[in-house]
Structure 1
């Protein structure tokens, strides 16, 4: 089966970072009414990493970029755009992307943050690959990072067992001889925004009163229903756009929200669960960081190899979802 014409862009480097502090299921047992068996059975999560009191999303993202620079022969001097996917910026009005530009002294680059919550990294990668393929930019630094511990209510058993902190970074560059981005798909359902949110200036959303006082609020049942219905449909659309069979996918890298969600998505989409890569077991749900963390773990474990075809798919607050198929290496 032939494939559609790929976008003339490629991921050329990757880096990741998680904080040192570990919050285990046993630790949570001393904080709320829960236990290791209950958490693992329902989520697949055993540990999550927690940022220090003086460590914020910009620090996580900068560390992920630095990790990339130590592992790949790439430079930031010719980066002409920085996109950071996050919904937990250090400050409301100073983008994390600008803090990255300042830290590394990138001489001439645009910089902005993108908020599509847990779909953020896929949205940012979609944006970067399109801009590079169009010739608008030649080298884009894409970072996904979140400090969810800063907005988690540690008295709420339903949410505090899920979330952790981390960041991942990739470089997207122009590639004409061996382009890698094969298909993209984006979607949203704003009527479901009331199911995952964090309060801000407004006290209601689409006429629905909000609670939480700045902490994450989630209706897990509704998010589950959205993910296990929407993601398999999105996967079918992606494969059709790329004119690819299911068997062409070497690795499926979904947002690491909950292992039971991933299992259901695999069952409904026909992708073997053994092909799924996830970062939630020891990092928890890290929102925009979960997909690059899972990809990097797959690389470090020797699973993902040059030439492999990857299907990335994010889903989360908004409600939003985004997927793409790309070749690695």
Structure 2
């Protein structure tokens, strides 16, 4: 059978590093308060005039270099983002032009922090159906543009960045030993849309708005739903928690990461954690963490890897793959 295998990966972080102490000049907060509640120590903010597509293009080029490919080797770009450059066209098409890619097709996916998982699942389905042979899957965000700087409960949590992964069609035996994506699990429940959202929008108010989050409610849903989707994707592939070599979770909050690992019975030495350095970069957080983990030797060929995320919608899901 056809499997969607990882061919290359890369990431990009804006040059500006923002430590927790930066917020103390205008908010009633402290480094200790932020670290104790989130695990975040610093994050990156995009420069003035630097757009989501700028970040995505840099990450995509790094992934192409890692794969030994050029832009026209790619059939499709799927870009997960909640902070597009424009209302339309899709930011993916701006990235397509920026890379000099003159063939194929490009489109955006919007599932907030779960966006990259949704994009991976879509890319996998396209490759298995024969729609494309190589797909550049990107998560890129400039969440610093939608922060309410008076809300200490949210503005200290988020950062900007981009990560990109190239999936390539390859022959597999149809067993769990195959390299590539082995199973996916996607979910959403719009009844909870109000607990994590950005106010405003083209149709409703013609404004951009700011991020609003009911933190305790989101936390309550996050651990249970992340554990459920991880168990579901493992069951689909016919593996157990003991078989997993690495978990690359959405990097939202260290308490969510540790709580989910505990619920699954997974030791923290199997969990990739980058939230301390990047904050919550929404759809960018998983490919960004994967790229960093690969560079550090935490992700190696043949390892069984699960990645999971939850975001506004609520939308959540997981992907199981062999690296």
Q: How many residues align?
A: 316
The 8 Å contact of residues 23 and 48 in structure 1, kept in 2 or not, is answered as yes
Alignment partner of 1:61 is 2:56 = yes
| Greater mean deviation of Cα atoms: 176-185 or 86-95 | 176-185
Shift of 1:326: 0.2
Alignment partner of 1:136 is 2:131 = yes
Other-structure match for 2:83: 88
The 8 Å contact of residues 61 and 99 in structure 2, kept in 1 or not, is answered as no
Other-structure match for 1:195: 195
Matches within 5 A, 1:207-218: 214-218=209-213
Matches within 5 A, 1:140-219: 140-177=135-172, 178-198=178-198, 199-201=200-202, 214-219=209-214
Instruction: Measure the CA separation in 1 of the matches of 2:13 and 2:298.
Output: 20
Other-structure match for 1:268: 263
Other-structure match for 1:258: 253
Supply the RMSD in Å over aligned alpha carbons: 1.5
Instruction: Measure the CA separation in 2 of the matches of 1:162 and 1:96.
Output: 24
| Greater mean deviation of Cα atoms: 74-83 or 191-200 | 74-83
Picking from 89, 107, 116, the partner of 1:121 is 116
The 8 Å contact of residues 279 and 291 in structure 1, kept in 2 or not, is answered as no
- Give 4+ residue runs of structure 1 displaced > 2 Å after superposition: 69-72, 201-204
Picking from 305, 309, 313, the partner of 1:310 is 305
The 8 Å contact of residues 146 and 208 in structure 2, kept in 1 or not, is answered as no
Instruction: Measure the CA separation in 2 of the matches of 1:203 and 1:195.
Output: 18
Shift of 1:219: 0.7
The 8 Å contact of residues 278 and 291 in structure 1, kept in 2 or not, is answered as no
Unaligned runs of 5+ in 2: 173-177
Instruction: Measure the CA separation in 2 of the matches of 1:75 and 1:189.
Output: 39
Shift of 1:71: 2.9
Shift of 1:303: 1.3
Alignment partner of 1:322 is 2:317 = yes
Unaligned runs of 5+ in 1: 1-5, 205-211
Instruction: Measure the CA separation in 2 of the matches of 1:213 and 1:84.
Output: 20
The 8 Å contact of residues 243 and 304 in structure 2, kept in 1 or not, is answered as yes
